[in-house]
Amino acid sequence: MKDFGKIFKILRESKNFSLREASEGTISMAQLSRFERGLSSVSIDSFFQCLDNINVLLDEFQAIYNNYTLTDDIRFNKELFEAYLNNNYLKLDKFLNDLEMEKLKYPNKKSLYLNSVIVKIVIYTCDQSRKVPKKDVNYLVDYLFSVEQWGRYELWLFINSVNVLTIDTLVTLSSEMLSRVQFYDELLENRRKVYQMLLNVVTICIESDCLAQALKFMKILDSLQLSEADIFERIILRFNKAFYSFKRGDKASMKLMLEYIDMLKRLDCIGTADKLFSSISDFVNM
């Protein structure tokens, strides 16, 4: 809670609220001052009331907290994604080795095992000679099925595991995801992750010629109605629709796919553009 107090103080002072105003009706000014200095903690109820007193919503606090502190999880996710896009095997292997060492120190910490499985999957996605042990995939799948309400962590696991799941498991988990994700319709970040996950599922289904399932999930994507600001996701969906049409026999759709890849390059999404081109490279000259 030490960093919580520090960030709370930054927000309070930026909004010109005094200690008296921020603590009114919940805790003493002295308690709040100690909390802001990292000398003590406060109850969840008191913390929520103090946030309300300075007109800050919980998700706003979380976003600012993440930006200021850059938690280990956020840093790991960001660096893992960058290593994947750049095919940086040295970085990926370092992630895996570090996690294996952590697992020896904390053998009962489930997230370390799950994170190591994800790194193995990312490595496999870049180099398919490095197979992911079946027991690791089964452990991940069993975990996802065991969780009744998915949060962002479960979404992150699922998003990064699609390349090692069977089509049947992928489709089943995708359907389960839509009923298990916590408040995905209200929380923008969860909603965006669900959208990204479904885009991945559609791509896998099309590549595997499971076109009926691809169409089903594209219809769900259309119903989610992302904002106009989500340009990247809109381009990927259009690419997938063109890929679907191509697989259905419309060879003219190849031109559209190449145009969408070019759009991504112009948006400086070079890594993603290269990955998409790689997925259709066998069909380009057909």
Is residue 164 a part of any domain in this protein?
A: yes
Residues 6+ apart with CB under 8 A from 4: 35, 47, 65
The answer to whether residues 142 and 117 touch, using CB atoms and an 8 Å cutoff, is no
DSSP annotation of 248 reads T
Is residue 39 a part of any domain in this protein?
A: yes
Please check whether residues 238 and 200 belong to one and the same domain: no
What the block records as the tokens of 227 is 């904002």
Is residue 142 a part of any domain in this protein?
A: no
230-250: pLDDT as tens digits: 889 999 999 999 999 999 999
The answer to whether residues 128 and 104 touch, using CB atoms and an 8 Å cutoff, is no
Alpha-carbon distances of 266 from 6, 35, 257, rounded to whole Å:
40, 47, 14
Is residue 144 a part of any domain in this protein?
A: no
Please check whether residues 60 and 8 belong to one and the same domain: yes
More confident residue, 284 or 244: 244
Please check whether residues 220 and 169 belong to one and the same domain: yes
Please check whether residues 6 and 64 belong to one and the same domain: yes
Does 53 score more than 70 pLDDT? yes
Instruction: State residue 213's pLDDT score.
Output: 92
Is residue 143 a part of any domain in this protein?
A: no
Range of the domain at 167: 160-225
Please check whether residues 65 and 75 belong to one and the same domain: no
Note if the pTM is more than 0.75: no
CA pair distance 149, 139, nearest whole angstrom: 18
9-48: pLDDT as tens digits: 988 998 899 999 999 999 999 999 999 998 999 999 999 9
Is residue 251 a part of any domain in this protein?
A: yes
Please check whether residues 246 and 190 belong to one and the same domain: no
Does 184 score more than 60 pLDDT? no
**82-86, 198-202, 268-272: lowest mean pLDDT where?**
82-86
Please check whether residues 190 and 233 belong to one and the same domain: no
122-154: pLDDT as tens digits: 999 888 899 999 999 999 999 999 988 887 788
Total number of domains in the chain: 4
The answer to whether residues 161 and 140 touch, using CB atoms and an 8 Å cutoff, is yes
160-177: pLDDT as tens digits: 898 899 999 998 998 888
Please check whether residues 101 and 78 belong to one and the same domain: yes
Please check whether residues 104 and 74 belong to one and the same domain: yes
Is residue 151 a part of any domain in this protein?
A: no
CATH number at residue 25: 1.10.260.40
Does 268 score more than 70 pLDDT? yes
The answer to whether residues 212 and 174 touch, using CB atoms and an 8 Å cutoff, is no
Is residue 139 a part of any domain in this protein?
A: no
The answer to whether residues 188 and 149 touch, using CB atoms and an 8 Å cutoff, is no
CA pair distance 39, 75, nearest whole angstrom: 26
Please check whether residues 279 and 259 belong to one and the same domain: yes
DSSP string, 206-224: HHTT-HHHHHHHHHHHHHH
CA 281-285-286 angle, 5° bins? 105
85-118: pLDDT as tens digits: 888 888 999 989 999 999 899 988 898 999 999 9
95, containing H or E segment: helix 89-105
Please check whether residues 215 and 234 belong to one and the same domain: no
Reduced 3-state DSSP string for 116-136: HHHHHHHHHHHCCCCCCCHHH
The answer to whether residues 187 and 59 touch, using CB atoms and an 8 Å cutoff, is yes
Neighbours of 248 (CB within 10 A): 11
Please check whether residues 239 and 263 belong to one and the same domain: yes
CA pair distance 284, 286, nearest whole angstrom: 6
